[in-house]
Structure 1
Amino acid sequence: MDSDKKIISSHIFVFPFNWDYVNNEDWLNTCIDERLNVDKFIESLRDGWEEEERKIKNDEDYNTYTYFYGNVRKAIYGKKSNVKINKYKGTTIKNIKYYWKKLINKKVSNRIVTCLNYKNINKNSIYEIYIKNRDDMGKESYKLKIRSIKLKIYDTGVATLSYFLDNYEYKTREDILIINDYGRRIYPQYIPLEKAQDNLLARKVSLKFGNDTIEEDFNYDTKKYPTKVSKIITELLGEKFGSTEKELKDYYSNEKKNILIRPVIDDRMFVICWYSDNLNSSILTKYKDQEYLKNDFWYQYLFIDNEGSTCQDGRMKKDLLLKSTYTRWKDYGTLFGISRYSFVLLCDESNFSVNVLYNYINNIYYEMIILALVQRASILRFSDETSKIASFENKNIYRQIKKLQEYYIRFVNTIYFREVTAQEQGIELYDKLTELMRIEREVKRLDEEIDEIQRYITLETNGSTNKLVNLITYVGLSVSVMGVVATAFPLRSEVLKWLAIFGVPTFMIIWMIQLIKDRR
């Protein structure tokens, strides 16, 4: 944190997404293992990304590491990789061993996750949000200090890109709502663009790293490239990354883009926010009993509603807030709010809030949230793959379902956790996260989808086997008949000739009749 100024709020915008490596024009119909190439993903990144060190360097690192179960840590930090970032083009001994192993075996050790940091960040790096409806000229903006940017790439074909931002300037709760709502948008939620920018969409969002600036003003052909992800994401990853199939097809011929990324949460990033304010904390936790269950600001803050509460039914609002609010530390002036697209904390300005809760939400709770988001994203990813296979339009359907099951089993064993810590508060928060994201229910549904396809394929396989057995039976019967005839009569060439003329066609007719019956 900045030692000269007092921090007001911290904001983490998390972009969870699916990714595919595109290596041919028919990539959409290829097997999942041909599209999930983590090495190619890393090769395609722009300069500036480096692998995160797996060292405990300070108190926060230690506290985060010991907070989680041992098996969960592997899904947070990954396993040690054999090839270092930005060394793929070299010929080091580690690289040679890695690629030789991959060539002869193809089953490289499961890394689970690869963790990267963007290193081109300094004390002057800024995440700037330009708001049109605050000024007719669109000149007013919110400048947040970029503390770090992290990228996690998972073997299951999902990834998360996280912007860690600190606010030292904007104090009012209206400012916090605007930052969260406008800062998270990655493409226009509707058109025309002018209307979207009048209400919920920033006029421009920019990343500033000294002389290097990445800007997105959303001024592109939205009808040609719908759901095109913001440049602050794609350009930060690299020029080989595209976010629409149309975009990749346009550029594939000259090999400019070969990684397709697709958002998991529509036009918004997931918001993690810590807000320290004595007045709002007192109003919601001490002013009136259960004030948080009817307070508009708490609803807007929790559900990231900048333009007012989107629930205008008092009873429904109370039910939603009751379900999404965690009140263990309410009497200490602290409230947690959790939804499918947000995790927020409101606290007072005490030293404990600034020194402890700030670090908890930016380290421990962040990792917990990422685990839940990755589980949700992986489930959606596998469900999409299941739908493709279920259409029965793809080639090698047996191989595709086998590989999908392989990745799914790996997901269940290495990423899907019903409990991640022995800490009571952690258990309660994680339970609420996974409940609101419907993870357990979606896993059961995905199990059923995969089982149904497997049963269908088993029936198809049994049907093919029965046809083969019938064919062998008919051939055997025909041979037996010809053997009996050959035994009963002298083996004259004329007899064999007549057997060939009448026996073979008869066998073929019987076989065709059986095929017609099978199809019915």
Structure 2
Amino acid sequence: MEMEEVYSDHIFIFPFKWTIGEENKNIKDKLNFEKVKQEISNDKNWIEEYFENETEDEYNINKYFYDYAKKILFNTKNSYENQNLVKNYKYDFCIGDYEIYVKEKVYKLNLKKIELKMYKTGIGFLIYYLSNSNYALLNEINEINDFGRRIYPQYLPIEKTKKSFLAKKLKIKFCNKEIVEEFSGKLGRISKTVMDILGNNFSENFDKNKFINIKSIIDDRMYTLCHLRLNNFSKMLKNNENEKGTYNYLKNIDWNSYIFLDNDYATTQDKDKLFIDNKKYTYNRWTDYGTLFGITRYSFMIISDDSEFSNVVLNKHFINLYKNFSIIALLQRSTILRFLDETSIIASYNEKNNYLKEFEELNIRYMEFKNKMYFDEITPQEQGIEIFDMMENIMGISYKIEKLGKNIEELYNNSVLKNQEKRNKYIAIITVLGTLLTFFNLLEIEYSKIVSIKLLDNYNDIINYIVFSFLTILLFFSGVFIFKKIEKKRDKILFLIIYVLFLISYILLKIIKGDII
């Protein structure tokens, strides 16, 4: 049987942050990875996926990536360590189609696979694998990529958004059910083609009846990968005017539209910027073969011819290698954004919250992320090093991770300082009360001596009572004076508690000594 010709392969990745319960819970509770894994394992639609190194593809992947990179990409049944960092699942379905309704047209793509990757850092990825055997025009590919990746309206009114880049309708068809999203009703919610696939354990509105609450980590777009095999386009981009001239791709508006996922017209309308951007965002090692890579913050695009090498070897690299490059880069970028959110939440805590403990917990998780999930090199292969470097630079990963580290350190130090200031206030209050007690005791002793010299011994009890009463009243009004000088309500309450306990202790001491009874 002759295989159906494939013009393009598409991978849509929906990056999200997950939380157990509400966002203002403590980090340990809302990022309880064991509970998340347990809940998903109870959903029959999700099957745990393991890397066993048994097939040719698995062997090639195993030899391509460093061990530490594989630990955050795959699960093996005999390794608990990487299952404590990432958990992989595949959606159980027989036959699937992904339909994109654009204006008056319907794009029908083969849905080959759906994956779910959940990470300990509070990040998850829902991944759709699609293939196209029906549409060979560049503008059709651009519409598939742009309209197919949108999961909610970017702006309102909805009618204008649908004319620009939001699909009229998205539909996922399985052999036994359909999931349809028409982007109507309550706007701003994430598409049913995402939420219904994730299942009943997931919610986007902090539903108490749902276990895992999610939010899109970037915006209304899924990260997009595409491998397009189009001979004429590939040939045109690699040509140059003469041997010393520039390659066509450097000044080609269609190449710019393809890598930046513009469906109707290019959003770069300046020739100088067009040249700069095409140069900056293109990996060009294989230009003379007609193979170019376009890499942006939200896309990984390949153009090649439709030779056997492109359809077999390069396409396997696209699915097995470059997709995983994107996963690691997205994981790093998304985790940084997630942790920045956490610093903002903790920084907004009032003094009733144990923000110092929360910053300590966040710092522990940041250091684990930096040591186990942040790498600037994931393969010993030269081309892989170059491509991943380019992805990291374009996403600004190294700069952002250092900025995150400084933010956590500064906020932690500030919290330590505030905590120290609070302790100093308490110590100062206790010191003042202790000084008053010492002063009053000395005053009482000296006053009693002076009075006892002049009066008879049988008046000592009366004298002691008078002295005690006088010093107690003096102590009381001293406390009132200090209380009025304190500004913060919390500190006033604390002083009052300490002061009352101190006063009671002083009176009991006098009773025990027999000075007043």
TM class by smaller structure: 0.7 to 0.9
**How far did 1:78 drift?**
4.7
Structure 1 residue 48 corresponds to structure 2 residue 34: no
1:242 aligns with 2:213: no
Q: Partner amino acid for 2:178?
A: T
Name the CA distance, whole Å, in 2 between partners of 1:287 and 1:148. Answer: 39
Match of 2:468, SS state, is helix
Tell me if structure 2 keeps the 8 A contact 1:12–1:271: yes
Q: Is this contact kept in 2: 1:110–1:155, CA < 8 A?
A: no
Partner in structure 2 of residue 285 of structure 1: 238
Instruction: Please name the residue that 1:327 is paired with.
Output: 284
Equivalent residues in 2 for 1:429-444 (5 A)? 429-444=387-402
Structure-2 residue corresponding to 1:34: 29
In the other structure, the counterpart of 2:456 is: none
Deviation for aligned residue 1:455? 2.2
Per the alignment, residue 481 of structure 1 pairs with: 439
Cα distance change, pair 15–373 in 1 and its aligned pair in 2 (3 A): same
Does structure 2 conserve the Cα–Cα contact (< 8 Å) formed by 1:471 and 1:511?
A: no
Query: Deviation string for 1:2-47 (max 9, x for gaps)?
Result: 962122211000001111111xxxx232112211233443455443
Aligned to 1:146: 111
Task: Output one character per residue of 1:287-345: Cα deviation in whole Å (capped at 9) or x when no partner.
Answer: 54310011121111100001111111000111111110000111121100000110011
Cα distance in 1 for partners of 2:23, 2:78 equals 28
Equivalent residue, structure 2, for 1:389: 346
Give the one of 338, 341, 353 matched to 2:310.
353
The reply to whether residue 402 of structure 1 matches residue 360 of structure 2 is: yes
Instruction: For residues 237-279 of structure 1, give each alpha carbon's deviation from its aligned partner in whole angstroms, at most 9, with x where no partner exists.
Output: 1134222x3xx4xx53xx2x33221112311111101111221
Answering whether residue 192 of structure 2 is matched by residue 231 of structure 1, we say yes
Question: In the alignment, is the contact (CA less than 8 A) between 1:214 and 1:232 conserved in 2?
Answer: yes
Letter in 1 for 2:19: D
Give the match for residue 166 of structure 1.
Answer: 131
**1:302 corresponds to which letter in structure 2?**
I
2:500 maps to: none
Aligned-pair identity (%): 36
- SS of the residue 1:305 aligns to: coil
Counting only pairs closer than 5 Å after superposition, residues 61-100 of structure 1 correspond to structure 2 as: 61-78=58-75
Deviations 1:54-85 (A, max 9, x none): 201311111112212122211112575999xx
Residues 121-168 of structure 1 show CA distances to partners (whole Å, capped at 9, x for unaligned) of: x3x311111222xx2xxxx31111112111100111111111011112
Aligned to 2:430: 472
Query: Unaligned regions of 5+ residues in structure 1, if any?
Result: 84-107
DSSP 3-state at the match of 2:186: coil
Counterpart in the other structure of 2:478: 506
- Larger Cα-atom Rg: 2
Higher relative contact order (CA 8 A, sep 6+): 1
Q: Distance in 2 between matches of 1:425 and 1:56?
A: 23
Task: Indicate the residue corresponding to 1:177 in structure 2.
Answer: 142
For the residues of structure 1 that align with 2:148 and 2:78, how far apart are their CA atoms? 34
Distance 1:412 1:493, change over 3 A: same
**Which SS does the other structure have where 2:239 is aligned?**
helix
Count of aligned pairs between the two proteins = 469
Q: Is the 8 A contact 1:78 1:112 kept in 2?
A: no
Counterpart position of 1:260:
213
Equivalent residue in structure 2 for 1:368, among 325, 332, 339? 325
Distance in structure 1 (CA, Å) of the matches to 2:297 and 2:247: 23
Q: Where does 1:305-324 land on structure 2 (aligned, <5 Å)?
A: 305-324=262-281
Contact 1:181 1:200 in 2 (8 A): yes
Residue 88 of structure 2 corresponds to which residue in structure 1?
115
- Look up the match of 2:17: 18
- Match of 1:163, SS state, is strand
- Report whether the alignment pairs 1:419 with 2:372: no
Question: Is residue 194 from structure 1 mapped to residue 159 from structure 2 by the alignment?
Answer: yes
- Which residue is equivalent to 1:339? 296
Contact 2:47 2:92 in 1 (8 A): yes
Structure 2: gaps (5+ residues): 450-459, 492-517
Q: Secondary structure of the equivalent of 1:509?
A: helix
Offset of 1:348 from its aligned partner? Answer: 1.1
> Is the contact between residue 51 and residue 75 of structure 2 (CA under 8 Å) also seen in structure 1?
no
Counterpart pick for 1:128 among 99, 104, 108: 99
- Give the Cα–Cα distance (whole angstroms) in 2 for the partners of residues 371 and 439 of structure 1: 11
Give me the whole-angstrom Cα distance separating, in 2, the residues matched to 1:197 and 1:470: 65
Structure 2 equivalent of residue 458 of structure 1: 416
Relative to the length of structure 1, the TM-score reads 0.85
Corresponding residue of 1:496? 468
For 1:452 and 1:320, the matched residues in 2 are separated by 36
